[in-house]
Structure 1
Amino acid sequence: MRIPRIYSAGDLAENTSAELDAAASNHVGKVLRMKPGQSLILFNGSGVDYTATITCVTKKHVIASIESATEIPSESPLATHIGQVMSRGDRMDYMIQKSTELGATEITPLTSERCEVKLKGDREEKRVKQWQQIAISAAEQCGRSKVPLIHPITSVDDWVDNKPEDSLGLVLHHRTTQQLTGIDKPQRVCLLIGPEGGLSEAEIESAINKQFIATTFGPRVFRTETAPVAALSVLQWLWGDFNR
């Protein structure tokens, strides 16, 4: 039987007892119905997995005894920050789940000229927390010991303006012929992806003026939730850890 991997945001250390945070306690005690004596693997995003045994389960609390710590080489050497214009339905959920599995390190939900999703106030905060939990669940499942950070919602223009100077900026644009061959291997990539209707010409030009490269991954037009999956796969093959 596979030992469950559980994310818990608190401090973790060998030879200590850890009380799991509320979300982790609920998942372990109520969803998985685990009992004292059963084994867990805990992680808190530090890059380390902790082998532990449950010692106490109540309605709201789970306590585990941590026995050992192991550094997990599950992170790609290529840091990738996805700026994705928000889309309707569960497309963003799918994108965040699969991007986590494919090694993304940061994700920023974006608004744009053609964005059809409008979130404000409590709805915005709630949705970002939901997306962060999806990233946590995906990291638990796929064996990552670090969890992508889901940033607050911002505009395409502001995200483009704040690209780190040491990052390669790419904007997906199916009407260009520019491919990735010939580009020097970067350590960091910022990947801009538009909504269902695509980025406007003005938004693409603005990104290009901020040193983003308009690039294509082939002759077909991807759906907005497919684009990051295809792009991250190619980037990990070229510059990450898919070919190691």
Structure 2
Amino acid sequence: MLPRLHVDIPLTASSDGPDSTLRELNLPAGAARHVQVLRLQPGAALTLFDGSGFEWQAEVLRMGRSEVTVHLHARQWVHRELPHAVTLCVVMPANDRMDGVIEKATELGAAAVQPLMSERSVLRLAGERADKKQAHWQGVAVAACEQSGRSVVPRIESVQTLAQWLHKLPPHDPQQQRRWLLSPTAAKPLRELAQTPAQAQATSTLVLSGPEGGLSPAEEQSARALGFEAVQLGPRILRADTAPLAVLGWLALQSV
């Protein structure tokens, strides 16, 4: 399998038009380092993508100390996304488990991940520390796209408190968006709720998942007031980093 590399600049096949052939490109620093780490040599083939949904077949032309020049060939549209956009709204688990959530959410097809803090959060981030984490997680998503074959990179949103995020949500339109609140005490299982006519026709989904111990009653009430419906995922209690991925995996399987 050819190496797949993400480049953080828009790619075009040629300045003469999107269907023209061949163009030389000096890779951005991150992609160039990746090529050097892989020890690719002039003449080596690789695949490039810029997050737009297109892929370019490319060939290494020249290798410098810090520069790598490639030749771009014709692009092709590659669609490996879920039928409906799914955003995981996750109260961040402690330690480094959020890295795993981002990685697996990317592999399973999430369109975006919204890191949140709630009343019972252990991990709390703000200011420069939050910005650095967001940038790190975006890098995790890029790496997962390179590995999994996705050509669209999910957005990793800035860290917010649950209250701030709920306050910014637009009014709920159930015909456009499903809003699910994961709760082990909910009466409805996910499959039953998702198959109702009103839910089945929605074109996007928000999945709100709390921390270990769940959201507070006041937080659940605030979410419900904005159209979130509580769903449960079965008889077992799942960890905070497992529950949202279980939902995303189920949604991904529905599209196969």
**What does residue 237 of structure 2 align with?**
221
Offset at 1:105? 0.3
Confirm or deny: 8 A CA contact 1:91 1:225 kept in the other structure: yes
For residues 73-123 of structure 1, give each alpha carbon's deviation from its aligned partner in whole angstroms, at most 9, with x where no partner exists.
Answer: 111111011111111122100000000011000111101101111222221
Distance 2:82 2:117 in 1: 28
Confirm or deny: 8 A CA contact 2:60 2:68 kept in the other structure: yes
Offset at 1:59? 2.6
TM-score (norm 2): 0.89
**What does residue 80 of structure 1 align with?**
86
**What does residue 152 of structure 1 align with?**
158
2:40 is the counterpart of 1:34: yes
Confirm or deny: 8 A CA contact 1:163 1:169 kept in the other structure: no
Distance 2:167 2:205 in 1: 15
The code of the aligned residue for 1:52 comes to: A
Distance 1:192 1:171 in 2: 5
Dislocated runs of 4+, deviation >6 Å = none
Distance 2:98 2:208 in 1: 14
Task: State the Cα RMSD in Å.
Answer: 1.4
Aligned residues: 238
The code of the aligned residue for 2:182 comes to: L
How high is the sequence identity, in percent, across the aligned residues? 36
Larger radius of gyration: 2
Structure 1 runs not aligned, ≥5 long: none
**What does residue 148 of structure 2 align with?**
142
Confirm or deny: 8 A CA contact 2:126 2:159 kept in the other structure: no
Distance 1:59 1:196 in 2: 48
**What does residue 170 of structure 1 align with?**
180
Distance 1:90 1:129 in 2: 14
**What does residue 222 of structure 2 align with?**
206
Confirm or deny: 8 A CA contact 2:180 2:207 kept in the other structure: yes
2:2 is the counterpart of 1:3: yes
**What does residue 205 of structure 2 align with?**
189
Distance 1:11 1:57 in 2: 22
Matched position secondary structure for 1:119: coil
Structure 2 runs not aligned, ≥5 long: 14-21
The farther-off stretch of 71-80 and 55-64 is 55-64
2:98 is the counterpart of 1:99: no
